[in-house]
Structure 1
């Protein structure tokens, strides 16, 4: 994870504990906390989608043994990335969680 994002997360935890020494929060501190929390949530959603596409295993075909297939005794599975056809990316770009 990005070090600056981690720093922001830690500062947000401190700010939500009503630490009055947090000088970076202006007079409308609650709104600032709300905005930061929302942005961090959006980063997490996008990161999950990117991790799926970055995982090399999601591009691999696998041989599935199946005795009902008379010639080869099985078949190759469709890679996960091909099956999902960009749905995770579209969902994440809308700001919605992919629940994966």
Structure 2
């Protein structure tokens, strides 16, 4: 898992514990906005990869080529998913 997401998770858990214990917690706007923006970026990256695999057009076989697959999913071999899971944009 992405190290930045791990850090966000730990901070979130620590904050929940502090609130449950009744402690006052103060955050700057930047401390709240930056992790949210990062997580939204990661969601967009993963959504793009999922949309590629969910698109039925990427699974159609070429009937004229003896039913051999000639579509992007077969050529991709999971590369987009692996890149997205690392948190990197596929730029496609």
With structure 2 as the length reference, what TM-score do the two structures score? 0.63
Alignment of 1:88 onto 2:86? no
C-alpha deviation, 1:78, in angstroms = 1.6
Unaligned runs of 5+ in 1: 1-25, 64-73
C-alpha deviation, 1:62, in angstroms = 2.8
- 1:59 corresponding residue in structure 2: 59
**Number of residue pairs aligned between Structure 1 and Structure 2:** 65
C-alpha deviation, 1:27, in angstroms = 2.8
Q: Whose relative contact order is higher, 1 or 2, with alpha carbons under 8 Å and at least 6 apart?
A: 2
Structure with the bigger percentage of helix: 2
Superposed structure 1 runs of 4+ greater than 3 Å apart: 74-77
Unaligned runs of 5+ in 2: 1-25
Structure with the bigger percentage of strand: 1
Q: What RMSD over aligned residues (CA atoms) do the two structures have, in Å? A: 1.6
C-alpha deviation, 1:77, in angstroms = 5.4
Alignment of 1:37 onto 2:48? no
With structure 1 as the length reference, what TM-score do the two structures score? 0.59
